Structure 1
Amino acid sequence: MTDSYIRHVQLLGFEKRYLPSQHYVYMFMVKWQDLTEKLVYRKYTEIYEFHKALKEMFPIEAGDINKEHRTIPHLPAPKWFDGLRSTENRQVTLSDYSSSLLSLPPKISRCPHVLKFFQVRPEDENRVANSNSGRKPETFLLKEDSSKKNVSDITGPIILQSYRAIADYDKNSKSELTVKTGDVVDVVEKNENGWWFCQLRNKRGWVPSAFLEPLDGPDESEEQDPNYEGELHITTKEYSADMEDELSLKEGESVEVIHKLLDGWWVVRRGSITGYFPAMYLQKSGEKALTNGNPSNRKALPPRRSTISNANSMHKANRKQISQETYRRNSKKYLKQRQSIIHSESNILIITEEIKAEEDKPKPQPAIPPRPSKELILDRCSEHTKNKIRTVN
């Protein structure tokens, strides 16, 4: 008898269910080797746990030993809260994931772990009966052109990066995550204020990015280069400097951000003076402050990366360091250039306005010459004209 295997898996859409509480499940049509087709329903958390277990079973193909050897497709971790939009946008990712999964070698695509996950469960067959006692599920079918949607249109990260903890961090609230030195976490979201949302096995939470470094090399390439033109920001909270290279600012002050760093401590400029300032106390000029679900509302500031001591950290060995003297020297140079440009533009504007004023002045009209006398006219006429005048007279 031929061993059982899956020929094809197709994502049909998802359902919004209300029992025992509101949640979402994805609908898969599974076509087996005997050409039978079965409909199964899976929560995204179940799919992600299946994915994590598959990576542990095949560490080489998961890229745990060498990232270049990875063949198992990536799958983003569940969000803190799943809504209708995120569930809908994730369909393209799941459709691509299931197709890529079955295209892997048989030792993976036909392994018991994969087969068991897509087998029909009792709750798959009794779905209708279970829904009679409450509000009926709402079904959302996948549009035919959804599979052609650009990857950039998908909400949330597509490829999760793995980072290593370089020091112990004990959480200070329920929304944070405790990590120990050497723990490897998957980063789901990188917030500019220095708090990253991470997944460690079956736990999720916020971790200061200063405690994390990538597995394969320094991450300074992820940071933007200094922008001495600066972006205008407003301070949303007062901060008193703890270190010499930081700035003390009051709430409501205007500063220019010239360098955004991953640990959430940005280099800002006030006048010609520069210094580090916590990003969570900054708001871009003209934008409204976010309050709900924003990790900036935390009581504690994320630590600066330079304060985390670990002799073996990549941050210590290969990281590019820019001194405040360099920031200030380049800032003064830029400010001088900007002042020169503004002065030149002002001169051009003045000259332009003067030219325009000259053009707008009323031009003098030419004087009308006096009418010549009859004798003068006759004197300047030809003999032919004179003869005609005499004939008329």
Structure 2
Amino acid sequence: MAKFVKNVTVIDYQRRRAPSKHYVYVITVVWSDGSEVTIYRRYSQLFEFHTSLLDRFPEAAGATGEERIIPFLPGKKIFGRSHTHKVAQSRAKPIDEYLKVLISLPAELSRCDLALELFEATNTDIAPPSEQERELPSRYTLNPPSPCAPGSRALLPVMVLDQYRAVADYTKQDRKELSFKTGDIFEVVEKNDNGWWFVSNDSASQGWVPATFLEPLDGELPLLSIFMHEKYITTAAYAASSDDEIGYEKGVVVRVLEKKLDGWWQVEYQGKVGWTPGTFLKRIEVCQ
């Protein structure tokens, strides 16, 4: 019999600063074979899992008129220059309850591949960053740390979410994404170097958006650069709109030289070097 999750508990939350500032929930997982692991999950990972589960099981989600049995993911509204450690703290108990209900659902849901992958330990779970590595100052964080109130949990510095404005309209292509109009304001919960950012707005909506459609409200932010030389394939054609950009057709191979967290990547193609949205590129997996 394949193993399944017998118990799960959110025991803590931790601040991380790479590749961007965020929090992870520390979760102990007890499997049916008696093994126990500790995993670390971002809220955005739980959000992606939750939306995938709703899509996979519409009846259990209540989308077909049946009674909904999939629990609601807690902690949606975080807008208002949020102090993220307070958000993380307030979400910990509801997320613990959410996960406990999840593993008690019928086996079709609680033991599906989506659930098992969520709880399975990854390389990062097995070798998480040390406390010193977690506390390394961010090169692109402008908000200075502030002490928590006396007696509060662990005296964590306050991190305030950066606010951005949409510079163009965008219509989501996937349930995990978020549609928006020019001028909409967001708080950025998580920045990924693939050009997609996890955001929240003042109407309590959240999801992934392309970073190239956003500009900072508080002026230009220094952005972390990641230098690399990996091959990627283009998922769509792109026409350069300025001299420092580079255009290409769909399905061609480019070499990525540099990634920025604002979603723009520097690539080399046909002997030319220029910038392109990272959302148009997919890494080429090399079989070992």
TM bracket, shorter-chain basis: 0.3 to 0.5
- Normalised TM-score (structure 2): 0.48
Of Structure 1 and Structure 2, which has the larger fraction of its residues in helix? 1
Of Structure 1 and Structure 2, which has the larger fraction of its residues in strand? 2
Higher relative contact order (CA 8 A, sep 6+): 2
- Normalised TM-score (structure 1): 0.35
